[in-house]
């Protein structure tokens, strides 16, 4: 690695550190509603945030997290998709930049996609949460290195 590439790399890191500490790291939402069917053929809705279509900082948040969350209809009336989304987003935002990009209803609950910049923190936090006996929600989570946001593009292609 040459001296010039060292300074260029440090400048990019400095820029991300600056950007991630400002509100400019999150674009204004541009939500579009998705109408779909669950695996059993029931009508379902979801949404996709189109603000991320041309998001300029994708390379800094290259890790896709896909949550599957079980929602039991007999549970608390306060437990809805928005509450669940906020719970995971707020938990991860303690050390991550978190971009929730899509959410869709399923036969068992919901699937939610997000992109983050700190996979080590996210993995440790979610593993600790999942191992707790008194957790208030059952969930699964898959991590994928997706620097080109291919999963986001796949979901966006469903919108048209």
Residue with tokens 């080109």, as numbered in its chain: 148
pLDDT of residue 70: 86
Average pLDDT of the chain is 86
Query: pLDDT digit string (tens) for 94-134?
Result: 999 999 999 999 998 899 999 999 999 999 999 999 898 88
For residue 105 the two structure tokens come to 């209803």
Which domains, from first to last, does the chain contain?
Answer: 27-159 (3.30.70)
Q: Which of 80, 81, 91 is nearest to 116 (CA)?
A: 91
Q: Which of 20-29, 47-56, 75-84, 118-127 has the lowest mean pLDDT?
A: 75-84
pLDDT of residue 134: 81
């Amino acid at each position: 690695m040459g001296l010039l590439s060292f300074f260029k790399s440090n400048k990019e890191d400095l820029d991300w550190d600056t950007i991630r500490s400002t509100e400019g790291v999150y674009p204004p939402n541009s939500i579009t509603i998705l109408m779909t069917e669950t695996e059993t053929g029931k009508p379902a809705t979801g949404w996709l945030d189109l603000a991320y279509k041309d998001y300029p900082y994708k390379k800094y948040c290259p890790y896709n997290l896909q949550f599957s969350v079980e929602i039991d209809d007999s549970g608390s009336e306060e437990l809805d998709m928005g509450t669940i989304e906020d719970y995971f987003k707020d938990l991860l935002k303690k050390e991550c930049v978190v971009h929730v990009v899509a959410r869709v209803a399923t036969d068992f609950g919901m699937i939610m996609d997000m992109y983050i910049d700190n996979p080590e923190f996210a993995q440790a936090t979610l593993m600790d949460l999942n191992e707790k006996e008194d957790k208030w929600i059952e969930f699964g989570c898959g991590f994928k290195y997706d620097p080109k946001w291919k999963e986001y593009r796949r979901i966006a292609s469903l919108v048209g």
